[in-house]
Structure 1
């Protein structure tokens, strides 16, 4: 009997899914658009030397280089942040080179296995992102234009295949498995909302040795750090499948039992770069398992927005308050100004926020109020006497202004047309142009003055 119900699980799950999750996909898209709508390409280059180290190939058993299967969606259409160097230390491609199919093949042939590329995650633009960090537009294949609303493009690129994740469950057949519970769209939402997963696995808070204590009722994993600090005790469910053994040595951040990991723990233990990897890798894992290719840069745009806030720990000589949640750009600006004056700077702790919370915590109260919890947002903004910097798209639409994207950017508004030398030469064939040149008789040699009368009122003789 049990076998019969397990075999019909796929069919029942499919029907329930179609009814319930199509709405979820649309709502996810709405939240993604809201959190990323102010990410616009604002400048050509922020000038950073930072980037991400990404693999392009692995060494095969025979010593040859095997192309990484995800290259198309990870390093493709970006630019190098540092020179690509082979094992002999020779520069194969200089920093700033565009990474395309030809370049990737060239690098792999030269024995390069990992390259450092520019990314929106490491972009240092105060508002939006810069064109050099974003790389080429996947729509045109050319370097992205200033004014391109890459946030909206990212949200739609992630949200649209979400419907496919919803429908795909039909085709898995009668397979009921334990990890089937958080696959597909719910797992993507769990990652983007930075929720603590159900039955989350703890991670080692330091490098050290493991001791497992088993009693009738409970089980504990005890980690004794190598540096002699206090041991860390992790209570574990009896039914959890452990990934470590008694007496085993573990590294910092190593997973202790089977299950998803809490992004907040990854941030606390391993730092910002690791939580970025965890979120991008987790979302990509779901989409790839369904055969849906999405470029990493779209997910990175959303992750950048999830990590844009910091909590002030020590205020130093700044006017920031301890425990205050501030935008990273504002925090850096305040610290720079304080440092210039030779005073003590503030210190802060990076936060990871879910997309809903990040949308509501934006600097723009107009955008937040039009998203969710309108009364609360407006009350809070009124109490704090907030002003809206009108940086994003939504807030400008609300007050009827031109949006700061595309040709609505100030850069495109005051355009003056200057004639090129070729155009001038074509229009005035007898003129030699210099900076102080003025018109003379020969410039107008193509005008037939005899056909015009000197008197305005008398018609001339036109032959």
Structure 2
């Protein structure tokens, strides 16, 4: 079968033996539906992210990239090679070898003005770009500047998007076909090949590797002198090598990208491998790094990183030992792939099952402004990861959006945000926008169009009857299969980027939030706050960037200081958590009993000892010990800290003591270090299970504990090996938590804590977020966590889809106070059912039932649906059916699945319309039969 190259991406087809089936629609309706809804020309945008899915790839991209190359310099000072009036003249000149594709010429660009009249514009650019401009559709919004740049795959996608927006679907399809022809033609003419000499190994590689080796010798000697522990050495070594690998890779990219020759006839010859990677045709910088840089660190199958990297690359060739080490990663990748395809398919199935019965049911549900979520840009480490305009595009505003400085209304309430509005919002510098969301829609069945916003595959407001649940499930599940495949492409090469400093990404004024700083003996400023943040602000106090600064970091700037871009704000040791003295004094060990809670551990390799805290609770007779360091004055009294608490520092197992008993310390000095766990390779292997765990709403292993209210920390008694920690509010009521011993608590006695802060580090349990911080915070958490996994892989998914699944997970509520209703306490019922019953109770003036939202995992939520046919076809069939039989359930056939099972039209899409007609017909029938009944009774009357 011959398949059009542009639809391969949508079918996920490649030519390594793929097979396709041919389906013949028989009935008229089926033919109509296939032609209008399913034909490839009607599906230009991808429903998962709203970007075009019909985009040139591979050879076509390479051809377009080659065609659009130009000499690097200011356009103006290059003398044009000639003046041309039409494209055919340019082509003739190229054929006769008078100019080349990359020669600078002056020519006309034919377009139309906003009235539709033909106009000609004069431009100076390369011949290749004029040829490109000749296939652009004529529209006053489509300017020559679109093609007057180097075209990578991303830029081509952008052009197709713009063409679709302004010229409609037919024009776009024709334009894409022309792009395809042009791309293939010039890929052929460019004659780009791949030889081993195209892989340039950087000259400085040897020097960089030797520098790294020198550093590592330093660490080895520090280790053998006992200044650092084995784990710390491992972390530092791994760190040095990963930095070295990056440096070599950057050098390689610089050398390869600058290897450009300009031929006498003006033709530009760029390094072919660089062209392939840079255009987005095939390959990536990471793969080039392995071919011509250095392979770098690799992981063992367990996920740990092997300390010695592979310094060779594939061009130089690996030694037998290096090759053996690298086979680890390769084998692991292949095994993973086989396992993960199944996993990913199962995730998709669960998602489809939980979301299948949610669709668009009406235009507007009547949600108020408060029924909305606030969106802002996502900043990580000072870099903007996702711009605000990307997040709000295609949603409905929940309140007027005002200009932050002038106060003019940019967008009215309940307006759909399109690309033009996005630009306005961006230029105005709005930081947060409140929008309606699927999460906050108050429709009783399904969702309304206003809360959902734009239909991503059409670019307009969503139509009634769209099966948004299935679209969401497939959009989240589909990349899962891609992600799983992607593990073995980079042969298990591990990357570590432990942040250890904050660098100003923009110039501005420093503002320290929750300031708590002391100076140590060397006059360094040390941050003592548990939740100190540093924000950089401009003249109008608008926040430009914000950094979360860990406890124990060294600060290099003052509060309110003006800072330049690129300056280091602070740095910290990423591998250990310090315990820092807040006052000066003499160290005194308490409950640190040699051999029970304290051991001098001699390192095998070096014979040097370091003092480390043992796990003293393993022996029952010592369970009462509380190893701690206290600070005393000359007379031996315990020193008071600033907040009047005594300076005691409780230690957890595995802490390494940095001070000796009786030693004099000054404020800001490190008393002990707790090594953090070594870094595991972050791979999507963490990815798929991570997504599954999030959607199953599983409690993480070492879950964080979130404070439920503001207050002061107070330590209580120990119960059965657990430490009781209470948070005392101002009105002296308190909430208490039991924390397993040996866990590092972030706060000391008497410190203030705010609601929502973490007492224990770790991943928070989603149920806690819902209970303490509410639905909006939960939505933000879910969207952020799921997106992070996909973003690592470069997959774009719209936030709406995640919210749609989350809405289904939050359908149920748990009854807290039944009031006058017939519910029992602790019963799980649908939120909608509760709302209806409460309305009725209110009307009768009775006491309403009180309930709390519950978060269910997707498997549980699917089994809890109101339709037993759908639940039975999912999992645990006998249990579901016996349960339904006992309760005498009735299935209303509301969702898609149950209708497919009994063989009816599904109540979505075209089926929705038919159902609507049937309803109208039934009502008319009913009215007619009533009418005839009254008439016949009228006729019978005189007979009496």
TM-score if structure 2 supplies the norm length?
0.41
Provide the residue aligned with 1:140 in structure 2.
458
Q: CA deviation at 1:180?
A: 4.2
Q: CA deviation at 1:86?
A: 2.7
SS in 1 for 2:434: strand
Q: Aligned runs of 1:174-213 on 2, under 5 Å?
A: 174=494, 177-178=679-680, 180=682, 183-210=686-713
Q: CA deviation at 1:284?
A: 1.2
1:54 to 343, 350, 375: 375
Whether the 8 Å contact between 2:299 and 2:329 is mirrored in structure 1 is no
The CA distance in 1 between the partners of 2:757 and 2:770, in whole Å, is 13
Whether the 8 Å contact between 2:702 and 2:762 is mirrored in structure 1 is yes
The CA distance in 2 between the partners of 1:367 and 1:22, in whole Å, is 25
- Higher strand fraction (1 or 2): 2
Provide the residue aligned with 1:165 in structure 2.
483
Q: CA deviation at 1:196?
A: 0.5
Provide the residue aligned with 2:874 in structure 1.
371
Q: 1:213 to 1:331 in 2, by over 3 A?
A: closer
The CA distance in 2 between the partners of 1:20 and 1:135, in whole Å, is 37
The answer to whether residue 391 in structure 2 is matched with residue 74 in structure 1 is yes
Deviations 1:346-397 (A, max 9, x none): 0011110000000000000010000000000000000000001211001111
SS in 2 for 1:25: helix
Provide the residue aligned with 2:410 in structure 1.
92
Whether the 8 Å contact between 2:714 and 2:728 is mirrored in structure 1 is no
Q: CA deviation at 1:84?
A: 0.7
Q: CA deviation at 1:415?
A: 8.8
Whether the 8 Å contact between 1:57 and 1:113 is mirrored in structure 2 is no
Provide the residue aligned with 2:910 in structure 1.
407
Q: CA deviation at 1:14?
A: 2.1
Whether the 8 Å contact between 2:712 and 2:752 is mirrored in structure 1 is yes
Whether the 8 Å contact between 2:345 and 2:477 is mirrored in structure 1 is yes
Deviations 1:165-203 (A, max 9, x none): 323333351458347498200110110000011111111
Q: CA deviation at 1:221?
A: 7.3
Provide the residue aligned with 1:443 in structure 2.
none
Q: 1:235 to 1:347 in 2, by over 3 A?
A: same
Whether the 8 Å contact between 1:280 and 1:303 is mirrored in structure 2 is no
TM-score if structure 1 supplies the norm length?
0.81
Number of residue pairs matched?
407
Could you tell me which runs of 5 or more consecutive residues in structure 1 were left unpaired when the two chains were aligned.
417-463
The CA distance in 1 between the partners of 2:412 and 2:438, in whole Å, is 20
Whether the 8 Å contact between 1:223 and 1:231 is mirrored in structure 2 is yes
2:430 to 89, 112, 115: 112
Deviations 1:132-190 (A, max 9, x none): 11111110101111111010000000000112332333335145834749820011011
SS in 1 for 2:713: strand
Provide the residue aligned with 2:353 in structure 1.
34
SS in 1 for 2:794: coil
Provide the residue aligned with 1:275 in structure 2.
778
Whether the 8 Å contact between 2:821 and 2:849 is mirrored in structure 1 is yes
The CA distance in 2 between the partners of 1:279 and 1:336, in whole Å, is 31
Deviates more, 1:345-354 or 1:401-410: 401-410
Q: CA deviation at 1:271?
A: 2.2
2:856 to 353, 361, 366: 353
1:21 to 306, 317, 340: 340
The answer to whether residue 615 in structure 2 is matched with residue 297 in structure 1 is no
The CA distance in 1 between the partners of 2:799 and 2:917, in whole Å, is 30
The answer to whether residue 788 in structure 2 is matched with residue 285 in structure 1 is yes
SS in 2 for 1:356: helix
Provide the residue aligned with 2:420 in structure 1.
102
What's the C-alpha RMSD, in Å, of the aligned pairs?
2.9
SS in 1 for 2:763: coil
Q: CA deviation at 1:270?
A: 1.9
The answer to whether residue 389 in structure 2 is matched with residue 389 in structure 1 is no
Q: 1:414 to 1:275 in 2, by over 3 A?
A: closer
2:821 to 318, 321, 334: 318
Question: Radius of gyration: which is bigger?
Answer: 2
SS in 1 for 2:704: coil
Provide the residue aligned with 2:439 in structure 1.
121
SS in 2 for 1:194: coil
Whether the 8 Å contact between 2:724 and 2:739 is mirrored in structure 1 is yes
SS in 2 for 1:82: coil
Q: 1:231 to 1:413 in 2, by over 3 A?
A: closer
SS in 2 for 1:78: coil
The CA distance in 1 between the partners of 2:892 and 2:333, in whole Å, is 46
The CA distance in 1 between the partners of 2:420 and 2:880, in whole Å, is 50
Q: CA deviation at 1:101?
A: 2.3
Deviations 1:218-268 (A, max 9, x none): 784734323322352342463x56554555422111123332111112122
